[in-house]
Structure 1
Amino acid sequence: MAALTIFPAIDLKGGQVVRLAEGDMDRATIYGDNPAAQAELFAKAGSQHLHVVDLDGAFAGESVNGAAVESIIKAFGGKVQVGGGIRDRAAVDRWLGLGVDRVIIGTAALKDPEFVKSAARDLPERIVVGVDARDGMVATEGWADVSDVTVEDLARRFEDAGVAALLFTDVGRDGLLKGCNVDATVALAKAVNIPVIASGGVADINDIYALRPHVANGIEGVITGRALYDGRLDLAQAIAAGRA
């Protein structure tokens, strides 16, 4: 069986490393002011994949923390996926040109699906669709708005487009250490033929063990942030558990 990829997360707000509670910019915990140094720590722990979000960009609709992301890419050395405010092809090309491995598109996947499909066709394995859910419905604009589209309906729109993966986040658990919503994540993976990355609420190593058997069902990986920063999850142990 393939390994479950562990993606440590660096969320950027005003150039600082933060974690939000339920995507609320007013509920941000600052974990550091040197994103590149944080990326180096993750690399030293054995990580070859990194998840970076430009939180300011998600609300602004364009890149805000570009300089910080560039410093992360140089420091990390592995594969970096980036999301937050990527709403057009120019933004996609700019990130890929800077050395990003994959770009994550959320709001535009709902509001401009043809742009996403076109990018996915032109750039195989480089486009990840962010499917953010609040009570099963798709949330956009940095999770500020909730649509009337279900998670599975949105995911199915991209089944034949060649997207690399779906990034599924349960917004109601994100940053709260409540545990990953394994059931909803697996249900999505079984409903579509696109690999799914779990996100939101990872509390400790038990979440890794809970997701690991579902690699066979299409779960590609899991993103973890606050559990790492709070010392509840050891990254090297998580990577080992993902391979076990």
Structure 2
Amino acid sequence: MLPAIDVSNGLSVRPGNENSHESFGSPMDIASEWIASGANWIHLVDIDAAYGKGENRKLISEVVSRCSGINVQVSGGIRDQESLTAALQTGASRINLATSALMDMPWVESAISTYGKQISVSLDVSGSRLVARGSGEAVGDLELVLLQLEQIACARYVVTDIKRDGSLNGPNLELLEQVLSLTGKPVIASGGIGELSDLEALVGLRSKGLAGAILGKALYVGRFSLEQALKVVNS
């Protein structure tokens, strides 16, 4: 279970469109809250970098430092060597490459070869296509690109149906099952979780290789607490 902290302009936010985000205050305070609630992992996203509107690297690094003792997965706009190096310098446990990085597959292969299990790859999906977050640019066919990633030994995937992200309407179980059928690597679900029953449905995919889920909006708007979510997945 990975509670999310999305950072924009120095604040913890829930993204709306690329120009409008609802603020929830200090990322440092949110990190402390998730740790106190029992989080073992935090999904930390630089929203400005994801949308190509600047970056929050210093703050991201400070939040990672605040989270000493637990694991942090850093994400958001990590699409080239410069952004990957900056992410690695935070000391995060895992770096999640952006879907847009997949337009330079030789570089992705080099990153995976160099850093191995420290790298995961975002699969942001619309229909059957991978789409770059922020620009909306088509990256390629999901199954074909996933086959390429399997061939270069990608260790882990973060799968998001971008139409469900932030909707609270439930995860796309069909998409997750499709990806799980194509890889034996761990898969993390993201997007759409709005009820504890959604988590129960995801728990049902553990036997097929689902390794975790990212929780965002549902926690921030009070659909349920992190403690309640952890109880569901650990029962």
- What TM-score do the two structures reach when normalised by structure 2? 0.93
Equivalent of residue 198 in structure 1, options 189, 196, 199: 189
Q: Distance in 1 between matches of 2:110 and 2:183?
A: 19
After the TM superposition, which parts of structure 1 deviate over 6 Å for at least 4 consecutive aligned residues?
none
Match of 1:65 among 56, 60, 63: 56
Asked if 1:230 is matched to 2:207, the reply is no
Q: Mean alpha-carbon deviation: is it higher for 71-80 or for 102-111?
A: 102-111
Tell me the CA shift for residue 162 of structure 1: 2.9
Cross-structure match for 1:117: 109
Would you tell me which structure has more strand in proportion to its own residues? Answer: 1
Question: Which stretches in structure 2 are left out of the alignment for 5+ residues?
Answer: none
Instruction: Pick one of 129, 134, 144 that aligns with 2:126.
Output: 134
Shift of 1:42: 0.2
Q: Distance in 1 between matches of 2:107 and 2:160?
A: 22
Is the 8 Å Cα contact of residues 131 and 154 (structure 1) preserved in structure 2?
Answer: no
Q: What residue in structure 2 maps to residue 3 of structure 1? A: none
Deviation at 1:144, TM superposition (A): 2.7
Report the equivalent of 1:19.
Answer: 14
Residue aligning to 2:208: 217
Q: For residues 206 and 226 of structure 1, what CA distance do their matches in structure 2 show?
A: 15
User: Which amino acid is 2:151 matched to?
Assistant: D
The CA distance in 1 between the partners of 2:141 and 2:4, in whole Å, is 26
Shift of residue 114 of structure 1?
Answer: 1.2
CA distance in 1, matches of 2:208, 2:74: 25
In 1, Cα distance between the equivalents of 2:43 and 2:230?
14
* Rounded Cα–Cα distance in structure 2 between residues aligned with 1:79 and 1:107: 22
Equivalent residues of 2:219, 2:226 under 8 A apart:
yes
Paired AA for residue 39 in structure 2? S
**Matches of 1:51 and 1:189, distance apart in 2:** 21
The answer to whether the Cα contact below 8 Å between 2:14 and 2:23 also exists between their aligned partners in 1 is yes
Matched residue type, 1:71: E
Aligned twin of 2:138: 147
**SS at the partner of 1:60?**
coil
> CA RMSD, aligned part only?
1.7
Give deviations 1:54-100, integer Å, cap 9, x for gaps. Answer: 11101228x61112212211222211111112122232233222211
Shift of 1:37: 0.8
Amino acid of the residue matched to residue 11 of structure 2?
Q
Aligned residues: 234
SS at 2:149 equivalent: coil
Alignment of 1:46-57 (within 5 A): 46-57=38-49
Deviation of the 1:194 alpha carbon = 2.2
2:23 to 4, 26, 30: 30
Instruction: Give per-residue Cα distances to partners, 1:148-190, cap 9 Å, x unaligned.
Output: 6222222221113232311111111111111111121121111
Question: Post-superposition shift, 1:27?
Answer: 4.1
Considering Cα pairs closer than 8 Å and 6+ residues apart, tell me whether 1 or 2 has the greater RCO: 1
Q: Contact between 2:218 and 2:224, CA under 8 Å: does it hold in 1?
A: yes
Gaps of 5+ in 1: 1-5
The alignment partner of 1:210 has SS state of helix
What one-letter code is carried by the residue in structure 2 that aligns with 1:84?
G
The reply on whether 1:8 has 2:6 as its aligned counterpart is no
Once residues 164 and 227 of structure 1 are traced to their aligned partners in structure 2, the CA distance between those partners, rounded to angstroms, is 28
Aligned residue in 2 for 1:101: 93
- TM-score normalised by L of structure 1: 0.90
